[in-house]
Amino acid sequence: MKKKQKTNIERYQIPYRSEKWHQFRLNGIGASEVRTVLYADDYSDPLVLFYQKLGFKKPIKDNEAMFHGRNLEEYVAMCWQGWDGKKDEYNNPSYINNINNGKIIRRCKKLNAIVKNKMYDWLFVNVDRMINKKGGFSLITGKPLEKEGVLEIKTTEGFSAAKWEAGIDPSYLTQLNTALLLLEVDYGELAILKNGRYLDVFPFEINYEICELIIDQTYKFWYDHVLPAKKWVEQMEKAQMVGDEQYYNECKHQIQMLEPKVGSNKTAEMFVKENYRKNKTSIMGSETLLKKGKKDAYIASIISTLNEIKQKNKNEILIEFLHNNCEYIDFEEEGNLRYFVRKGSTLPQLGNNLKIKFNKNQITELIQKNLLKNDFF
């Protein structure tokens, strides 16, 4: 009789969006939340996530996009089973004929469970599907899979869909690598349905450098910020029950001291607006806050000036379209400018399709060095 192989993987079957499900999520960092911890999320901030894990911020309600995205998973998974990366004689993806003819290339299965790994007990993942090892193969190497693989499913449209034209949206790489890390596999695929009618499948392999970053930063976030703050929350609740206002405020201060550094998107600002309670008092500001206040005014002035320069430059381009009554201004291999009416609109707008080398990190460094020098203030 074979001995049952020991595993670090633990599965928890909890009904989706139930009270137990919400409570479970308060006790760890989900794979989809890792990018928030790493300041790589356009839709959340480490500060907001910190207070979510403390139970002070209500979870996002199920909305229409989430509802349809979740219920389209079954359909996308079915299409994926016919995907072989090939095209037919009419340049259509061959999965269409495969599915129409009942030809299954590979199979996948639902886990129906939240997964944790004992090695990284502060993390968890809820993967959409697992790629079966039997009959499975890598789209990268073409070789049969030695283990199961991860299959993530996304639906997107409009501007968001355009972000996937060149491959996997970089902000999702942390989620995908977290899934591989916790499930102890090294291969996965992301199937994405764009604008409700275009399927694409992107293979990916585990990136150990990204995994090291994930482990390091999420561990610090959880054990240096969230867990110590949870203890103060317990004390704060006890102080509130007995009416000890002084100790209550001390606990609140200790929690604030444990907050992670705030990021650069607007969710943190919205969090402040939602939780701010005006008290008509005044406090003395610190030298550090004075510098931040001056910097805010200075940045606002820079943005205003840049917007004026941008509008003048745009107006000069638009005059050329007016003078020539054309839709396109072509620059051969450099791309083109286009003045056109978008579907659903009545007024024309400028489309800039010129190829430029844009490195956000270089521009950020340039601004910090030349426009936001500390000694300016």
Domain presence at residue 218? no
Which burial class, exposed, middle or buried, applies to 136 when counting CB atoms under 10 A from its CB (0-12, 13-18, 19+)?
buried
Between residues 101 and 267, the one the model is more confident about: 101
Angle at 304 between CA 263 and CA 361, to 5 degrees: 40
Under DSSP, the state recorded for 141 is T
Q: pTM, whole model, 2 decimals?
A: 0.82
pLDDT at 372: 63
Residues 189 and 229 both lie in one domain: no
Q: What is the mean pLDDT of residues 145-168?
A: 83
**Buried-state track 139-164, b at ≥16 Cβ within 10 A, e below 16:** beeeeebeebbbbbbbbbeeeebeeb
Domain presence at residue 280? no
Q: Which of 180, 212, 244 is the last residue of a domain?
A: 212
Q: Which domain holds residue 100?
A: 9-212
Q: Which of 177, 212, 247 is the last residue of a domain?
A: 212
Residues 268 and 312 both lie in one domain: no
Residues 38 and 180 both lie in one domain: yes
Domain presence at residue 3? no
Residues 50 and 194 both lie in one domain: yes
Domain presence at residue 126? yes
Residues 121 and 238 both lie in one domain: no
Measured in degrees and rounded to the nearest 5, phi and psi for residue 13 equal -95, 105
How many domains does one find in the chain? 3
Order of strands, sheet of 9-12, starting from the edge strand that comes earlier in the sequence: 9-12, 114-117, 123-125, 29-30
Q: Where are the alpha helices (DSSP H) in the chain?
A: 19-25, 34-37, 46-53, 64-71, 73-80, 95-100, 158-162, 173-183, 208-220, 227-242, 245-257, 267-275, 287-324, 360-370
Residues 82 and 204 both lie in one domain: yes
Domain presence at residue 177? yes
- Is the pLDDT score of 374 beyond 60? no
pLDDT at 269: 87
Between residues 376 and 361, the one the model is more confident about: 361
